[in-house]
């Protein structure tokens, strides 16, 4: 029989965490699901671990594919899913015990459900909740909530959501082949195609952030291009929904500058091998981008940190911006918990 929900976990070198994510699914208070693990060409013993789990529970299905990144792995999961609905779970995160039942009861007749989630510092038991009031928004009502949802960090990720499988397939909605921002591009396309959107206020997903790495991720040479693409897509959807105005422009500029700053911080990661000269050139190319300059001219009204960041960007000074980003990276190492709250601030 067709399961109600297909939970899809893309797993790459996830042997150290997979037992926790899988365990959180198997402990759900409803059993009408299948768990699809896409082993994305792992080089550790992820494949053996996943196979062993599948041998002990018939609801687990494992597919081994060549490494193609999380976007490709999730697309394979969409292709293989047998459930009426799809939910995504990262291999290093977990679900709350009632996540599936909460989502199934909250989605109603909508093709997509947005739910709340917790951000958890991996060395701290404190949970920071992110959620929006429960609602069902028809297409002509979505515009009023779109920008607040976007700024509240509820549209950045493909997880903490439930999707009608036929909706994704009928509209040919898949993840674009990027290793940053593919989640948000996917969600924007879902919202563009959806006739209605349900919102559940329950926090059903646990997103773990590692100390010291909450600000600086791996360098990705296409990250800035994706930041610009995301800004364009968000503005396009805002206009399509009929809510493009000064406030929307301000809030989307704020989200864009935050994303651009995250590009710059990656030049201080071990994965950036270009050295100081290459870092200067990278900063210069980004700060000289007309889209960045235009966004930096708009006052955000989102607190001291955001305004300070915008002001430094506005100068266009490469040395000043390198210093500012370097101080951000240092502060993140000294007080990662504070930076988790700043980076993921829920407005």
For 76-135, write each residue's pLDDT tens digit: 999 999 999 999 999 999 999 999 999 999 999 999 999 999 998 766 667 889 999 999
Same domain (yes/no): 163, 78:
yes
Same domain (yes/no): 286, 234:
yes
Tell me which of 148 and 215 has the higher pLDDT.
Answer: 148
pLDDT (tens digit per residue) in 163-185: 999 999 999 999 999 989 999 99
Please state whether the predicted TM-score (pTM) of the whole model is above 0.75: yes
Q: Average pLDDT of the chain?
A: 92
Tokens for 292? Answer: 């960045």
Q: Is residue 71 situated within a structural domain?
A: yes
pLDDT of residue 347: 47
Same domain (yes/no): 275, 130:
no
Q: Is residue 109 situated within a structural domain?
A: yes
Task: Answer yes or no: are the C-beta atoms of 65 and 73 closer than 8 Å.
Answer: yes
pLDDT at residue 317 greater than cutoff 80: yes
Same domain (yes/no): 121, 147:
yes
Helix axes 223-240, 246-265, angle to 10 degrees: 170
pLDDT at residue 320 greater than cutoff 70: yes
Q: Is residue 215 situated within a structural domain?
A: no
pLDDT at residue 212 greater than cutoff 70: no
Same domain (yes/no): 268, 307:
yes
pLDDT at residue 198 greater than cutoff 80: yes
Same domain (yes/no): 75, 164:
yes
Same domain (yes/no): 167, 231:
no
pLDDT of residue 235: 98
Domain range for 325 is: 223-343
Mean pLDDT of 296-304: 88
Task: Answer yes or no: are the C-beta atoms of 131 and 96 closer than 8 Å.
Answer: no
Number of structural domains in the chain? 2
Same domain (yes/no): 196, 327:
no
Q: Is residue 217 situated within a structural domain?
A: no
CATH number at residue 129: 3.90.550.10
Same domain (yes/no): 267, 188:
no
């Amino acid at each position: 029989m067709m399961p109600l929900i297909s939970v899809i976990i893309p797993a790459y070198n996830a042997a150290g965490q997979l037992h926790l994510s899988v365990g959180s699914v198997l402990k759900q208070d409803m059993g009408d699901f299948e768990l699809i693990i896409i082993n994305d060409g792992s080089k550790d013993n992820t494949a053996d671990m996943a196979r062993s789990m599948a041998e002990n529970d018939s609801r687990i299905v494992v597919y081994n594919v060549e490494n193609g990144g999380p976007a490709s792995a999730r697309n394979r999961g969409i292709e293989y899913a047998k459930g009426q609905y799809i939910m995504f779970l990262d291999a290093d995160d977990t679900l709350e015990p009632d996540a599936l039942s909460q989502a199934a009861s909250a989605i109603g007749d909508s093709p997509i459900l947005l739910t709340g989630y917790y951000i958890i510092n991996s060395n701290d038991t404190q949970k920071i909740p992110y959620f929006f009031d429960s609602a069902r928004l028809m297409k002509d009502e979505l515009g009023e909530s779109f920008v607040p949802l976007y700024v509240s960090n509820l549209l950045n990720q493909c997880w903490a959501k439930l999707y009608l499988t036929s909706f994704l397939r009928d509209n040919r909605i898949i993840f674009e082949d990027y290793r940053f921002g593919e989640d948000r591009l996917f969600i924007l396309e879902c919202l563009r195609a959806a006739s209605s959107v349900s919102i559940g206020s329950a926090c059903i997903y646990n997103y773990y952030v590692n100390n010291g790495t909450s600000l600086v991720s791996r360098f990705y040479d296409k990250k800035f291009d994706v930041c610009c693409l995301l800004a364009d897509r968000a503005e396009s959807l805002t206009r399509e929904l009929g809510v493009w105005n000064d406030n929307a422009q301000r809030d989307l500029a704020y989200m864009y500058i935050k994303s651009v700053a995250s590009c710059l911080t990656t030049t201080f990661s071990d994965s950036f091998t270009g050295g100081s000269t290459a870092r200067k050139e990278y900063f210069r190319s980004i700060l000289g981008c007309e889209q960045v300059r235009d966004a930096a001219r708009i006052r955000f009204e989102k607190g001291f940190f955001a305004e300070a960041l915008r002001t430094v960007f506005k100068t266009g000074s490469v040395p000043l911006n390198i210093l500012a980003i370097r101080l951000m990276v240092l502060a993140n190492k000294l007080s990662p918990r504070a930076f988790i709250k700043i980076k993921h601030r829920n407005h």
